Structure 1
Amino acid sequence: MTSTSRLVTRLLLLVAVMFGFGFALVPLYDVMCQAFGINGKTAGQYQGTQQVDDSRTVRVQFLATNAEGMAWTFEPLQAEVRVHPGASHEVRFVARNPTDRPMTAQAVPSVAPARAAAWFHKTECFCFTQQVLQPGEQIEMPVRFIVDRDLPRDVHHLTLGYTLFDITGRQPQDG
């Protein structure tokens, strides 16, 4: 085998390894976040029910922020609620498009403290779908959730935050 053939073989092997590493990044990121308790990612839609723990309450605070370049107004209707673990609750967020053009948005949730994110279950959330608002249109968006009754007893306060991103330019064009 000539030196050129060996070089080409090594380069092709390197490309294959880099390609495989690219696919492995998302699962590695999730494992690292879970191991170090960062990012506070919440799970997807929760389908279960639980028995309510009336012996304690947890304060759940709500935050709404816009990503850079997002023109909408966006806020929770309630700053916080006190809940019994295991009970289902609903809060609403309001978004308004003050621009003169239709816009599409996507909300990305996070829960703090991050170690409690696994015990925060959303049963319905506007973050599961993209939101399209016409110029001047306003919408109330519900979030239904359950704080798991197995939440560690030393956690008395959770914060559910949403960041709203403008994804209008990322939409596929018709035609």
Structure 2
Amino acid sequence: MATQPLQQRNKRTGLIMLAFAVGMLGLGYAAVPLYDLFCRVTGFGGTTQRASDSDASLAERLAASGATRDIVIRFDANVARNMPWDFRPEQATDKIAIGSRDQAIYLARNTGPEPIVGSASFNVFPNEAGKYFSKVQCFCFTEQRLEPGQEVRMPVVYYVDPAILDDPLVEDLDSITLSYTFHRKVEDES
């Protein structure tokens, strides 16, 4: 008779452990999207913001209605070791008014003997400026396929949110670096 309560406790403990394991598995799958959301909301690690045309227009109106200042944007380009591409900004720096929309062009050329699909990771330095650096259009939003010898011009349409002027951590910032690194698509690796 004493085995009945013991079996019930073992069954209950087993179910609790199973629920815990399933919960941990679920958290494991949710970790990447949750971390990505956290970075996009806070600008953590230099993560930039993704903005719509209407967001950019609002920033331009806000900048036009109040005092603004210029800021220098530096453009950086890198490729992973297994990526036979030449990748560089068309222009190394640009000076823009905070709140105004601007465009930068990056150039990429496949120097390898086969088609390659790549995707760009990005960040902003200093990290604290990430939540104020907004991209309206970017080649980094999609994968890029280049044939052997093919060269493309890839635009980035961006603005710096005027709210940066009210943040004591970065209000006196005079330059921001936008950096991209192209990586070979994992399924495309030879």
Indicate conservation of the 8 Å contact 1:97/1:103, yes or no: yes
Q: Show the counterpart of 2:184.
A: 166
Unpaired runs of at least 5, structure 1: none
May I ask how many residue pairs the two structures share in their alignment?
A: 171
Of all paired residues, the percent bearing the same amino acid is 32
What SS does the aligned partner of 2:27 have? helix
1:16 aligns with 2:22: yes
> By percentage of residues, which structure has more helix?
2
The one-letter code sitting in structure 2 at the alignment partner of 1:88 is R
Normalised by the length of structure 1, the TM-score is 0.84
Unpaired runs of at least 5, structure 2: 166-170
1:41 aligns with 2:47: yes
Q: Which has more radius of gyration?
A: 2
What SS does the aligned partner of 1:151 have? helix
RMSD over equivalenced CA pairs, Å? 2.6
Match runs of 1:21-100 below 5 Å = 21-26=27-32, 28-30=34-36, 33=39, 38-47=44-53, 48=55, 49=57, 50-51=60-61, 52=63, 55-100=68-113
Measured after TM superposition, the shift of residue 87 of structure 1 is 1.4
Measured after TM superposition, the shift of residue 118 of structure 1 is 1.5
What SS does the aligned partner of 2:49 have? coil
Match runs of 1:122-141 below 5 Å = 122-141=135-154
What SS does the aligned partner of 1:90 have? strand
Normalised by the length of structure 2, the TM-score is 0.78
